[in-house]
Structure 1
């Protein structure tokens, strides 16, 4: 059984994960709208698939899978890093801001998922240790 502090830590981690996922979802939706407005349908479709994975995730494993899919957009020729929106500079500036928000929130979310996993392992071990000592 988890002690009170462990339960609070897990609950706090879950709340932070929820907040990060919400920020990630918001930035992703805005980016999809921007890409569609500038006829970048391929990238709009890619980010839509990511968004759908994020929304449908029901476990930390599924969240990690969605984040891995997002990370696959970066690097190599023709990657997200190579996209440039030509529209008097404003659209590109907005794309950069949204990309930054997506990157920041996805990295934060991944870090929180790792922390949650470590906390759960620790609390399971603590529970097992207490059980063994009380036998």
Structure 2
């Protein structure tokens, strides 16, 4: 069953890349419903976090809630292409998409609209955005490993 807050059916699906490093060293959004940690600090260069390009729509969905927390509002997932590959990015709105396309003229958004947009934005609650302590990281990784097995 999909979590109504963070949109994932796997409460340990993230982080996708370098989980121990990410959980230990980056600020996380902690889902108050299922407890999933979602990285808030990634960047395009490192290919992780809510502002990255994603290889699949499903991976972008895993970071949608973190993007909403960053932008403090609803967001959308857009399918983009650079001519050679298709990828997905999260933007606050169509203006964000258009600015990105202006800055990256080699990129296109064939549909011109979001594949998915947040229908109902849930404001972030105090304490949901924070660094995990060592014990929380260890427990989360243990639980993630159990789910992956």
Name the TM-score class by shorter chain: under 0.3
Rg larger in structure: 1
**TM-score, normalised to structure 2's length?**
0.23
Higher RCO structure (Cα 8 Å, ≥6 apart): 1
Could you state the TM-score of these two structures normalised by the residue count of structure 1?
0.24
Q: Which has the higher strand share?
A: 2
Greater helix share, 1 or 2? 1
